[in-house]
Amino acid sequence: MDPQRQNNRLASKRRPGGLVIHYEDRDLLVIEKPSGLLTVGTDTNKLRTAHYLLNDYVRKGNPKSRNRVYVVHRLDQDTSGLLIFAKSEPAKRFLQEHWAETEKHYLAVVHGLLEPSAGRITSYLAENAAHNVYSTPDPGKGKLSHTDYRSLRTAKGLSLVDIHLVTGRKHQIRVHFAGRGHPVVGDKKYGKDQPAARRLALHASSITFTHPFNGQTMHFDTGLPDDFARLLGEPVKR
């Protein structure tokens, strides 16, 4: 089953607040979040979020509607890519209870050439009072975290990397690659920003999971973002 292909025509017509809907049925939504948009609200921003926009979308603008979406997982504000939202509590519970079986891949453009070109980065990740995440050798302070990676190609002193997120800690990819001396392009928090990038070059590119009610395997893949292709000097596919 390729639900993405089946829904491409519909998705192009439905873009609530700039979100691309890759798939929708009575149980869930699979959307593509742009960089810069929050997944859920904060104390200072409750309206300009993927969650708010999708709630408004399923309610069709009717604030009295009981329709709503439920957050299954999150992406950092500066990270773009695929997000799953459930349309009911049972669907949300199923997806979260089976989250360890969900396969998540990211694409990143990082500084430098990776040696080895494929492998696993493992460390304990902790967070300090300033909300900065860091690696520590002390298992009592941090949570064990694994990031699998494979370099796809290099250009202009940069590497395009496919990343399999084995564990899903806060800022895990950014901290792991910065710790190896290969920060993600555009990461002003953990790395450097040369060459200049308009945003963090990190994208949740594919996700594979089991549908909560019909049991089918669902797979979605966005391909390479246009701005990543430009960073690497590659032609943009139209």
**Residues recognised as catalytic:** 76
Sequence-ordered list of residues with C-beta below 8 angstroms from that of 44, at least 6 positions apart, any chain: none
Sign, CA torsion 238/165/73/101: positive
Length of the chain: 238
C-alpha 164: how far from its chain's center?
A: 11
Question: ω into residue 63 within 30 of 0, thus cis?
Answer: no
Q: Which of 82, 72, 134, 132 is nearest to 106 (CA)?
A: 82
Terminal-residue alpha carbon distance, the chain: 25
